[in-house]
Amino acid sequence: MSKQIKGREIHLKSRPQGEPTPGNFELVEVTVPEPAEGQLLVRNLFMSVDPYMRGRMNDVKSYVPPFKLGEALDGGAVGQVVRSRAPGFQEGDFVTSSGGWREYHVADARQYMKVDPNVGSLSAYLGVLGMPGMTAYVGLLDLGKPVAGETVFVSGAAGAVGGLVGQIAKIQGCRVVGSAGSPEKVKHLREDLGFDDAFNYKDGPVADALARTCPEGIDVYFDNVGGEHLEASIGKMKNYGRIVLCGAISQYNATAPTPGPRNLTLAVGKRLTLQGFIVSDQRHQHRRPDFLRDVGGWLREKKVKEVETVVEGLDKAPEAFIGLLRGHNTGKMVVKLASGPA
């Protein structure tokens, strides 16, 4: 009952300057504490690496506090209860938490949410049924407000958020165009995810690609990328267009301020709305039941595909994260830590 468990975790050893390197991370073995009254001991099965984590590696005040040096990182994880000292949870329950980057996690029961392993795969709770999925759902539907027949452009379209944005936009009856960083990803968008058109942004100026793929202009631009993509999109937006500012992965490793869109003034004459958001805000939580119902339903009906790139082993988590920022993933990048409870 109280046999001591050893577990490994990833610490932030030093803050990355520009692109993170393996040396910024450290794999540490620790003794997992016993859960106290009201707590759970959970063995993580999958952990998430997400672009937003790069921001937390800087020592900068933002909407989430920075990671601390010499401590375990955290982030989304899905695991299985090994020991419960809280009512409502029992051994074997599947739960999500923000206790990723480690093999075992102990915390108060209110920090866990039970999940149904029959809706999608378990790792889907880190992707289409998790934070990235809710980001796509809320960002596209509540901020982008697409209307059937409109053109929706999404950058980073082969990523966890972008891929679902495109699929939901198709379900809404929109024409959907995506950008990604390789011919394979472009093929994936067109053939697997049903995008109407897609392009490899490394092939030439984004503005040229948008002129070709969105000849009548863009109604909703879902921006995961920033930089050149944002400027080119502003140039191609139709009047009353909506730009959802979700992320700017092109700039996360920047060590100096990056140029802003030189044509932002067009937002006046085109009556554009640009809106940033953070999906974890309280104001969006009332949409969670709708999100789970809709995306869960679309998964079952095969209207939405769950796409992921899986890396195995906690020791590979830093390179999974580094690879994510380089665009090595198609769909959600997850790290598989174990196959079942200890």
> What minimum distance in Å lies between the beta carbon of 93 and its own copies?
34
> What minimum distance in Å lies between the beta carbon of 231 and its own copies?
7
Q: Cβ distance 95 to 46 under 8 Å?
A: no
- Count other Cβ atoms within 10 Å, centred on residue 61: 8
> What minimum distance in Å lies between the beta carbon of 176 and its own copies?
22
Burial 69-79 (b: 16+ CB within 10 A, else e): eeebbbbbbbb
The dihedral region occupied by 293, where left means phi > 0, alpha psi between -120 and 50, and beta the remainder, is alpha
42: Cα within 13 Å, side-chain hemisphere: 31
Between 277 and 298, name the residue whose CB sits nearer to its own copies: 277
Name the residue type at position 256. A
Backbone φ and ψ of 11, nearest 5°: -100, 155
Q: Residue 280 class from Cβ within 10 Å (0-12 exposed, 13-18 middle, 19+ buried)? A: middle
Between 152 and 274, name the residue whose CB sits nearer to its own copies: 274
Q: Cβ distance 55 to 62 under 8 Å?
A: yes
Binding site for its own copies (CB under 8 A): 55, 62-63, 226, 230-231, 239, 245-248, 251, 257-278, 281
Between 255 and 339, name the residue whose CB sits nearer to its own copies: 255
Between 54 and 175, name the residue whose CB sits nearer to its own copies: 54
> What minimum distance in Å lies between the beta carbon of 219 and its own copies?
15
> What minimum distance in Å lies between the beta carbon of 277 and its own copies?
5
Between 7 and 226, name the residue whose CB sits nearer to its own copies: 226
> What minimum distance in Å lies between the beta carbon of 274 and its own copies?
4
Between 231 and 308, name the residue whose CB sits nearer to its own copies: 231
